[in-house]
Structures are given as structure tokens and as C-alpha cells.
Structure 1
């Protein structure tokens, strides 16, 4: 029996709750799944954790596996999507968004770094420009002009608590914008920037 037929048979058996077939799939595909995770995360421990999560998801969704014709492709797509989803959540955490904004205001990058990160910076600027009203005003005064919350409160006739709340809201909105507008390559670029922290 050709290897592709064997793998398809494994998936069909897993769909019928066959744990032995699942073990065979795990042993056979672990190098591929781990390799994909490691390639995207550059972190062996994180890649191991994510690879285990991928196989857990495979087992949890086993009822759908009977219709899969190309198991290797199915697992690659599952691995890539789960890892990139994990990276998006990590990269676009509000504290990381703040760091990225500050990073792009620094002018000590080399020409090569500027070229590689130009697209990411453009999406970041679009995200900031998408802010409106007081959220945009407070964010600009805080992150672009460097004013304290006390100074912002005095200038805009709002409370210090309101100033802090607007900044938190701005970071959340920027994160959501980045999550929907930054492609996979930009997520990896952002992760590279964050590794400099």
C-alpha cells in the first residue's frame, strides 16, 4: 500500500476513535509538525508546547478527519495556523504594541533594518491614524509627545484616570487593527523586533 494511502487510512481510523492510529500519526508526523513550529517561533521549548497542542487539536477534531485526502498538507496547515495565531496574540499584546510604537520612533536602525520593517511600520501608523476623538488626542500627547498623564489631564481638562483609560483603549484598538491588517510575514517581522527587548 502506498504511503499516502496508509496515512489516509490512519486519519480514517482516528475519525473512528482509534488511539493506535493516532499514535502512529503522532510518531510519523511529529518531526514535520515540530519543524514547522520551530521555524516560525525560533524557540525549541515553545515549538514543543505548540506541537503538542496541535496534536491535541487533531484528536479533539478527529470526527472531521475521515474526509481528509492529504494528511500531510492538512497537518501543515493546522500547524501553521495554530502557531501563527499564537504568535499574533503574543506579538500584539498591548505591552508589545507599546514597545513597537516606541521602537519605530527610534532613528538608530540600519538602512537594511528600515527596509525590512518599513511595511510593518506603515501598518502600525495606519493603526494609530485609525484612532478617533479623545482616544487619538490622548494617545498622541502620551506616546508621540511624551507628556505625562497629569500634563495630558491639565491640557485636555480631563482626569488623570481618564487619560490612562484612553491610552489603554488606544492600545487595544491598535492591537485589533494590527491583528486584522498585518499578514503572516509582518507578524514574524514584529516578533523579530520584540526579540530585541
Structure 2
């Protein structure tokens, strides 16, 4: 049996998707990482994950699919980066416990961002793509529908479902 990395169809699919949507992928990832020097590594990871797609014929919307993969890659990368940078500062901990109304404590010093990131990482690729195009790119439902090859009704549905999922995740 040929592995996905060895499969010529998977290689051609991954190369075509990354080449076709390179600018969008770069822009998408650039907004999600602190250091632009990490972009090359993240694009490569997206490419490697595309190589592992088992049934490329089931991918109907490559842009939405690549946004989904890139969202997961960026989220995982940022999580690893945060874990590597964590430093225990007892004076900060003491001040936060003495003043629980402090904005740092209320927001969790990044806790809210992690919750949102985790909620977004759980979204299916198509819902994530719709939400990101709507919220980050500022596109209207008709523009998103045209870009992703979906109906306006489906875009509205995905947007509502994505927002409901994120809100529900934040309420936990």
C-alpha cells in the first residue's frame, strides 16, 4: 500500500492547493502567529497535512479545507509557543489573588484567548472558514458564498453554527 506522502495524487493535490492559495494561506497564518519567521514552517506543516488526506476527491472546497488545516496548525503552534514561554512569577500571582477584579485575572492573562482558540480549533473546516472570512476579512455572506462556492443560506447557517459553538465553549 502506498502511503499518502508517496501517493502521486495526494502530492499533486497538496501542491496545487498550496500553490493556488499561497497568498491566502500566508495572510491567514500571518494573522495568527507572533513572528513572521515561523510562517515557512507553518506552511510546510499545512502542506504535510494535505499530503495525508486519504480521499482527496471528497474535498469539495480546497480553500475552506486549507483554512481549517491552517487554523489547527496555527492553534497548535501557538499553544506550544505559550507552553515554552510560561514563567512562574510569584509577585504577579500574589497581586492577582489579592485583587481578583484585576483585568489580568478576569481575562485570565491570555486564558480567554486560549478558550477562543480552542473553540475555533474544534470547528469543522467549512464553518471555521466562513467565520474567519466574515469576522477577520470583513466579507459579507454573499462574498463568502462566492469565494467558497456555497449558497448564501449555507454561509448564514455555518456562521450561526460557528458563533453558537464558540459562545457555548466560552460558557463552560
**TM-score, length basis structure 1:** 0.44
Larger Cα-atom Rg: 1
Structure 1 or 2: more helix by fraction:
1
**TM-score, length basis structure 2:** 0.49
